[in-house]
Amino acid sequence: MRKKVSIVGAGNVGATAAHWIASKELADVVLVDVVEGVPQGKALDMLEAMPIAKQDVSIIGANDYAATANSDVVVITAGIPRKPGMSRDDLLKTNYNIMSSVVKEVVKYSPNCIIIVVSNPLDAMAQTAFRQAGFPRERVIGMAGVLDSARYRTFIAQELNVSVENVTAFVLGGHGDTMVPLPRYSTCAGIPITELIAPERIEQLSQRARDGGIEIVNFLKTGSAYYAPSAAAVEMVEAILKDKKKILPCAAYLQGEYGIDGYYVGVPCKLGAAGLEQIIEIKLTESEDAALKKSAASVKELCAVIGV
């Protein structure tokens, strides 16, 4: 019997995640959205591509969460982007309400699932999902670091003119401005990039990775990134469904690790069939530790606004 993954939100990120999952033949997919016809239409279109892709998976669209029953993994992409004139707090509260209502339905139909949160602001939305679900922390994980490190790896590979397969990149902290890239743990074919790239150039690449989302928004004007974010979420789904024990940078609920307690922050996580199976703690320099604590403080601020 195939695994089942439900994706909440049939916008660009959700629909593209469904496409990646189907193309890898990882699981049957349910695409859920409040807009009538959109998840049904996109799901049917993908399903009709399966004979060409030679993949046997079921893809259905629905407006009702009953279709998601007994999902192994639920990926939540639902939420609204910030609009002109909307404050960060307004956006936060709106997406808090959306996340809360989504999680209630998810838990009702799939009480044993693992939840992957993709909605922004990521760390605060993961915290909201965790509080609302009442699941152990192992079953509510946020997607941020996989995307951030993929962007960082892209820029490092371009800089060194090498295969992206040769490059590993290490990032900690929140998604976006407070992201903490760790160049001394980032490598090309096992060689630390600090031995291959000048320090000032590394800082430029690190900043470009932090600004990765806004760079794409500035190009698109009326939208945001979705190919890389959806691929990042699916890498997490695959690690869980295949019990890969893969170490990926994810937003996890910390209980004293890295000196942080009670908040979702990006750290290296081992993902397997149980979800979050281990948080990997590494020694940080004073400056790295300070940057991570600053990142955690910004998450704490957002969580205070919505009371989670």
Sign of CA dihedral 184, 246, 166, 169: negative
Sequence-separated (6 or more) residues with CB below 8 Å from residue 238: 24, 26, 244
Residues 149 and 231 in one domain: yes
Residues 115 and 64 in one domain: yes
99/115 Cα distance (integer angstroms): 12
Residues 152 and 135 in one domain: no
**Domain end marker among 142, 174, 206:** 142
**pLDDT band for position 175 (cuts 50, 70, 90):** confident
Q: What is the DSSP string of 151-213?
A: HHHHHHHHHHT--GGGEE--EESSSSTT-EE-GGG-EETTEEGGGTS-HHHHHHHHHHHHTHH
Residue with tokens 């919505």: 306
State the CATH number of the domain containing residue 231.
Answer: 3.90.110.10
**Domain end marker among 122, 142, 162:** 142
Residues 129 and 150 in one domain: no
- The rounded Cα 34 to chain-centroid distance in angstroms is 21
Residues 93 and 137 in one domain: yes
Write out pLDDT tens, residues 185-235: 999 999 999 999 999 999 999 999 999 988 998 999 888 899 999 999 999
Residues 210 and 298 in one domain: yes
Task: Determine contact, residues 189/163, Cβ cutoff 8 Å.
Answer: no
Q: Which one of the listed residues 175, 180, 228, 238 is annotated catalytic? A: 175
Listed residue (245, 294, 304) closest to 274, CA to CA: 245
19 in active site: no
Residues 134 and 36 in one domain: yes
Mean pLDDT of 164-175: 93
Write out pLDDT tens, residues 280-294: 999 999 999 999 999
**pLDDT band for position 102 (cuts 50, 70, 90):** very high
**Domain end marker among 117, 142, 167:** 142
Q: What is the pLDDT of residue 1?
A: 86
Domain coverage including residue 116: 4-142
How many domains does one find in the chain?
2
State the CATH number of the domain containing residue 60.
Answer: 3.40.50.720
